[in-house]
Amino acid sequence: MDLTEEQIHRYSRQIVLKEVGGIGQKKLLNSTVTVIGLGALGSPVAYYLTAAGIGNIRIVDFDTVEISNLHRQILHFTDDINKKKTKSASRKLQLLNPDCNIEIIEEMILPDNVKEIVKDSDFVIEGSDNFPTKMLINDACVSLKIPFSIAGVLRFHGQIMTVVPEKKTTCYRCLFGDVGDSPSGMSCSQAGVIGLVPGILGCMEANEAIKTILGIGELLTNKILFVDLKTNNFTFIDVYRAEDCLACGENAIDLVKTYDYGVENVCH
Amino acid sequence: MSLENDVLDVKKLDIRGKVCPMTFIYTKLRLEEMKKDEILEVTLDFPAALESIPDSCKRQDLAETIEIKEFDGNKNTWLLILRKI
């Protein structure tokens, strides 16, 4: 596949980079990234991946746009209120870059469908708003050996890590264990969030996807980055695999089939 | 391609009318398709590219500059000869 004249111009500012070139651009155009959640994290992710020319972008969300989403979910506009987020997002993404095939999945992520949704992805972006879904995506991606980035935000804070199952890096379950053991955290709706915090974390997730596809740089693996944008503190903490992790450890099992995530009962 | 070009393995690229950074980008895309030690003759008429293409090619370990000369006696057009690294 040769790049068209239009593609050479559209992607010129990244083709010019040593790390990309025409070879890297073709890798991006031939790749598939699944973006789970089209909210505050998923919006900048989907936007930048589309702009970068990721050839196939699978966008997953079951929700509709509400007015209270708009201060942070930058793919959605005021006239999108009450529309499905997938429809709202795909309209903008198609306008941004007709090169990209935007595949819409208008479903809630559940144990029954998660593997079908993420399969064949070169990278998965986790941008959901709740802990059980994050854990479900972790378990499915670890099981299918798909690299993914997982992030969370609250108030002025954010955290992000990347997992590369093929390289046996620390997974989300290694850190947080059983969903049942974890403290029930507050969601953005209760605790609040400054809109640009997920913007920054989402951009970092998209960057992890691009670096993975290009095979360049360093990833946020075996470490977790905590960002405090009130104080501008960026803290990297090394994290380690749990030998007894049920998702990636020595005696791992297919959790997606058996584990009670309680995804259906989450307050969004 | 002439017999002489076959022997010297010379590839050609005409980027007359192009300006920076597209001058380098077209050169880079062509070089990426070439094998080590193959020669690329770039015909160009944007003077700044006589510096920027060799600089960028060197920085990105793409090619070394062999020669820069006027093209066919035309004072506003040049031949930039590069060897793929």
For residues A152-177, average pLDDT: 95
Reply yes or no on whether the pLDDT at A216 is more than 70: yes
Residue A95: phi, psi to the nearest 5? -65, -35
pLDDT tens digits, one per residue of A65-106: 999 999 999 999 999 999 999 999 999 999 999 999 999 999
In whole numbers, what is the pLDDT of chain A averaged over residues?
94
Give the pLDDT score at B74.
82
HSE-up (13 A, CA, CB side) for residue A172? 26
What pLDDT does B2 receive? Answer: 46
The answer to whether the CB atoms of A23 and B32 lie below 8 A apart is yes
| % of chain A with per-residue pLDDT over 70 | 94
Q: Which residues contact A235 (CB under 8 A, 6 or more apart)?
A: A225, A226, A227, A228
- Over pLDDT 90: what percentage of chain A? 86
Q: Give the global pTM.
A: 0.93
Is B42 a residue whose pLDDT tops 90? yes
Q: Is A149 exposed, middle or buried (0-12, 13-18, 19+ CB in 10 A)?
A: buried
Question: Across the strands, what pairs with A28?
Answer: none
Q: With 60 as the cut, is the pLDDT of residue A179 above it?
A: no
Secondary structure string (H, E, C) spanning A193-221: ECCHHHHHHHHHHHHHHHHHHHCCCCCCC
Q: Are the C-beta atoms of residues B31 and B81 closer than 8 Å to each other?
A: no
Q: Cite the DSSP H helix spans in chain A.
A: 5-10, 12-15, 21-29, 42-52, 85-96, 114-118, 131-144, 172-176, 188-191, 196-214, 255-258
Looking at residue A31, its pLDDT comes to: 98
Q: Which residues of A touch B (CB under 8 A)?
A: 3, 8-9, 12-13, 15-16, 18, 21-23
Known catalytic residue at B20: yes
Taking residues A55-63, report their average pLDDT.
98
**Bond before B21 cis per omega within 30 degrees:** yes
The CATH architecture of the domain made up of A31-262 is 3-Layer(aba) Sandwich (3.40)
The yes-or-no verdict on residue B6 having pLDDT over 70 is: no
Enumerate residues 6+ apart whose C-beta is below 8 A from B43: B12, B13, B14, B15, B16, B71, B77, B78, B79
Residue B24 in contact with partner chain A when CB distance is under 8 A: yes
Q: What is the distance between the alpha carbons of residues A71 and A86, in angstroms, rounded to a whole number? A: 18
Taking the CA of residue B64 and the nearest CA in chain A, the distance in Å comes to 15
* Residues on chain A touching B32 (C-beta within 8 angstroms): 21-23
Helix (H) and strand (E) counts for chain A?
11, 8
For residue B75, pLDDT over 90 is answered with no
- Residues of A noted as catalytic: 188
d(CA A88, CA A78): 11
Q: What is the pLDDT of residue A229?
A: 97
- Give contacts of B17 with chain A, Cβ < 8 Å: none
Domains and CATH numbers, chain B: 3-84 (3.30.110.40)
Structure tokens at A205: 């997730």
Shortest CA gap B73–chain A (Å): 30
Tell me whether residues B21 and A12 touch, CB distance under 8 A: yes
> Which amino acid, residue A104?
I
Rounded to an integer, what distance in angstroms lies between the CA atom of residue A83 and that of residue A62? 11
Chain B hits for A3, CB-CB cut-off 8 Å, are 29
A217: tokens are 């740089």
Residue A268 pLDDT greater than 80, yes or no: no
Q: Tell me what pLDDT residue A222 has.
A: 98
For chains A and B, CB pairs below 8 A equal 28
In whole angstroms, give the CA distance from residue A128 to residue A106: 14
The pLDDT score that the predictor gives to residue A218 is 98
The pLDDT of residue B3 is above 50: no
Position B47 scores a pLDDT of 96
Task: Write out chain A residues lying below 8 Å of B29, CB-based.
Answer: 3, 8, 15, 21-22
Q: To the nearest whole angstrom, how far is the Cα of B68 from the nearest Cα of chain A?
A: 22
Test B60 with A18 for CB contact under 8 angstroms: yes
Q: For the packed helices A42-52 and A196-214, what is the interaxial angle rounded to 10 degrees?
A: 40
